Every structure is written in structure tokens, then in C-alpha cells.
Chains A and B, each alone.
Chain A
């Protein structure tokens, strides 16, 4: 299931840099975790994958993840800045991304270095 519009919405689209707001009412928070809602790190990764695909105009899947560091928790209602460095070489997309607080870029949440197709 695409998470754009359900887990998050894009509130500012600057191409390689977008600002997203996480929907606090997404059903995943009923289970992750009951009474203590925390955005699953893997859904933050899915959001980055979808935004990368949106940026280059096609759906992408991860082929490999060199590293993904989840530096701090992401919580429902957070507004976050996603910066993507994307290169598309004959269908293989290399991507490095950082996810930080929208207003404070030292508030690092996630760093990702991956290859997609």
C-alpha cells in the first residue's frame, strides 16, 4: 500500500528536498505500539522510497541497502525535512537521503544509502 496520503502528506515539494507531515491517525499506531505511538523505522524508509520514485517519475523498489541509520525516533504528527541525492543510471537509481526535523536540520532522524530499481 502506498503510504503517501495515509501515513504522511507532502506539505512542501522542492524537488530533491521535501517537507512531510506524519498523520497521527494512521492505523499502524494502534500496533506500534499500543499506548505509545512510534512511527516504524521501516515506514519512514518506505516514505523515502516513495518520495524518490515521485521525484524521478516512476515506482521504485529497493534492490540493496548499503546502510540505513535510524538515529532518533519519528513520531506521529512530526513535520520532517527529507533531502535526497539521486542518480539514475540506466534504470538503476542510487540514492542517499537524510531525514531531519523540518526546522532543525541537526535533529537527524534517519540516514539512508541505497540502490533502487
Chain B
């Protein structure tokens, strides 16, 4: 069993995504059903729009990769390899009209709602400066 509140910054050790679409730079294991993550928006972030703000799809990818990091962390703890994962569906996503820009740090709290086989359902809340900018539910499918 993992010890509580284990922080990982070597994110590529937990997830299969690589630059230019790496959208998590810190992961904090809380327990098997809960984790946190963060991402500071760099000037070369591929989801930055011409208006200087991160596109909504970038926030969704950040949540998906937070889920992937949690799944990867648990797999590594069990002595298994990190595998590919995919978004299966997204439900009830609500975005604030204040989107993040370069230098802002996203903070995400993620809860595993259910996990059956390779299908994981999560709910997530993403904030910047303690202001919630996204809530959503997401289903992810992982290769075995």
C-alpha cells in the first residue's frame, strides 16, 4: 500500500503522453480514490489561443492526464507497466469564463467514482488561484 500524500514530479514515469502534449507537471497521490495535480502554463503550451488564454480542450486534456497519472501511479505500485489510456466520454463539463494564461498554475482535485476492469470514471475540479474554472466527469479506458 502506498503511503499517503506521495508527490511525483517525474510525470513521464506515470503517463504515456509526451511533449508537446504533456499537460501535468505535478501529481500528488492522496489515496486510491483521490489525487491532486498541477500544471503551470508555459509560453509554448500547445493549447494557448491567439487571445493568450488556454483553450477549454487543454483543461480537459489536463484532467485526462491527471486521471492517467493516478492510474499509472497505482499500476506502478502494483508492479505493473504504465499503459495507454483514452477518453471514452465527458459529461457535465462546465467552464468558467476566466480561462488561464501563461504563468497561471492549474490545480486539480480528482475523485475516482468507479473503476471496473480497464474503465475508470472520475469527477474533477480544476482551479486557478482558488477560483474554479472547470468541473466535469470523465470516463477513461486503459489498455491492459
Residues of A at under 8 Å CB distance from B? Answer: 1-2, 27-28, 30-34, 36, 38, 40-43, 45-46, 49, 61-70, 73, 117
Contacts and interface: CB of A to CB of B under 8 A. Distances in A.
Interface residues of B, number: 33
A32 B91 contact: no
B128 interface: no
A117 B90 CA distance: 19
Nearest to B99: A61
B89 A69 contact: yes
Interface string B80-122: 0000101111111111010100000000000000000000000
B130 to A, nearest CB: 21
B48 A28 contact: no
28 contacts: A1-B46, A27-B20, A28-B20, A30-B19, A31-B20, A31-B21, A32-B17, A32-B21, A34-B16, A36-B84, A38-B84, A40-B61, A42-B57, A43-B57, A45-B57, A49-B56, A61-B56, A62-B95, A63-B95, A63-B97, A64-B92, A64-B93, A65-B91, A68-B93, A69-B88, A69-B89, A70-B87, A73-B86
